[in-house]
Amino acid sequence: MPSKISTHHFATALKNPDIRFWIGSVGFFTLGSRALAVVIGFQIYRITHSALCLGWLGLVEAIPALSLVLIGGYVADHFSRRKILLITRASSCICALALASLSAQSYAHSLIGLYAVVFAAGIARGFADPANSAFEAQIVPKTITVNGASWIASVWVGCSVVGPAIIGFVFDAWGAYGSYILITAFFILSWFFTLAIGPKPQIMPQQKEPILKSITSGWRFVLSQQPLWGAMTLDLIAVLFGGVIALLPIYASDILHVGAKGLGLLNAATSVGALATMLYATKHPPIAKAGRNLLFTVAGFGVSILIFGFSKNFLLSLFALALSGVFDGISMVIRRSMVRLLSPDDMRGRISAVSWIFICSSNELGAFESGMMAAWIGAIPCVAVGGVITLAVVGLTASIAPQLRKLRFDPHTMERVYLP
């Protein structure tokens, strides 16, 4: 679990003004995007009452994002990442306004339009995600990587708590239209915080390669590093089968009977646990024994998902989701730090693109998988199967990826420690 070693004051990263602006950008964008996921999921389930339609929602965003993310990684390494983020943040504002416009119409006529806007948002995400991770590495100095990553992740998680928690109440009071207007305001604030960060020096690839070869170089590098592909695969399988976010509208409506307000709290519960562990990580980074800690936390995630799957008590369900967040928070800090510390500067965009393929696959395709399986065998058996698969994959990864299991970093220098 987290190391007891502390090498920086807990607020070291916050002394840097650009990191503070970046935290503001990440925070407001997270408020908007997490709130949007709750609203559109609940809106579509209210229209259709179909688990399969919730699954399609994840797939509609994943198709363009996965199709374009490798190109997005290439673009992030060859063009200004700051400009890419300003353009994609502006696209998010437009998409939120489009959703508000559609929601002002009859539900029966807006369903196809809702999916179309989500598809457009997926296109923007294909370029935004690689640039986002790579630009963060330009802002945060290497020596405070874990402290900076912990603060940024903490704000991300904190806003993941606040966004879903408040949007359920906003939805009940103002409906989908008012919710999307508030989400648009969050995206606009994120754009201005991104603009406040000055242009940063960016190392461009020295050698001009054919575009296809350059795009695939990120994959070649990741596959040559067992800790990277091991950690990415572990996260992919755990979230693909163990993730429950897409099914929360079903639990809120049909199993726990808590409505939109309860749905917001269920979405926020995971982030509450993650926030506590990430704030702890700003002072006690879990990086000294990174590989071992990652395996333990993913196993803990699987156990907590099993508890949630069988719970029919709202408070127990909240506790189980919060517990899953505790483990996921440690895992997130470790994975973000690993990608940063093991990636060459001039390949960060392409390596981040590969990482985001795993993340996008696990989240959006996981939502589709959850919807399909829940429609086939029911929501509770679906979640139970996912928890069992997660535990099995942890054991398999530990046996076939010894370099990941033994991965360590010196918390003073952030350099990899090679064990004899």
297-318 pLDDT per residue, tens: 999 999 999 999 888 899 999 9
pLDDT one-digit tens code per residue, 154-183: 888 778 778 887 888 888 888 888 999 999
pLDDT score, position 111: 79
- Mean pLDDT across 54-66: 77
Q: Do residues 356 and 133 touch, judged by C-beta distance below 8 A? A: yes
Least confident residue range of 74-78, 104-108, 250-254 = 104-108
Based on its alpha-carbon atoms, the radius of gyration of the chain, rounded to whole angstroms, reads: 20
pLDDT score, position 106: 56
pTM equals: 0.68
pLDDT score, position 1: 42
Least confident residue range of 34-43, 184-193, 269-278 = 269-278
pLDDT score, position 9: 60
- Measured CA to CA, the distance from residue 372 to residue 388 in angstroms comes to 18
Better-scored residue on pLDDT, 295 or 72? 295
3-state secondary structure 132-159: HHHHHHHHCCHHHHHHHHHHHHHHHHHH
Residues 6 or more apart in contact with residue 355 via CB below 8 angstroms: 133, 222, 232, 339
Residues 6 or more apart in contact with residue 376 via CB below 8 angstroms: none
Least confident residue range of 26-35, 107-116, 139-148 = 107-116
- Mean pLDDT across 377-397: 88
Helix ranges (DSSP H) in 79-106:
81-103
Least confident residue range of 34-43, 60-69, 207-216 = 207-216
- Measured CA to CA, the distance from residue 265 to residue 38 in angstroms comes to 10
- Mean pLDDT across 61-72: 80
Name beta bridge partners: 409.
416
pLDDT score, position 197: 93
What's the mean per-residue pLDDT of the chain? 82
Considering the chain, what percentage of its residues have pLDDT values greater than 90? 21
Q: Do residues 49 and 187 touch, judged by C-beta distance below 8 A? A: no
- Measured CA to CA, the distance from residue 213 to residue 134 in angstroms comes to 20
- Measured CA to CA, the distance from residue 43 to residue 8 in angstroms comes to 45
Q: Which two tokens mark 353? A: 């693109």
DSSP classification of residue 418: P
pLDDT score, position 325: 87
Q: Assign domain 12-197+211-417 to its CATH architecture.
A: Up-down Bundle (1.20)
pLDDT score, position 280: 77
Whether the pLDDT of residue 237 is over 50: the answer is yes
Would you list the DSSP string of 265-284?
Answer: HHHHHHHHHHHHHHHHHTTS
Whether the pLDDT of residue 26 is over 90: the answer is yes
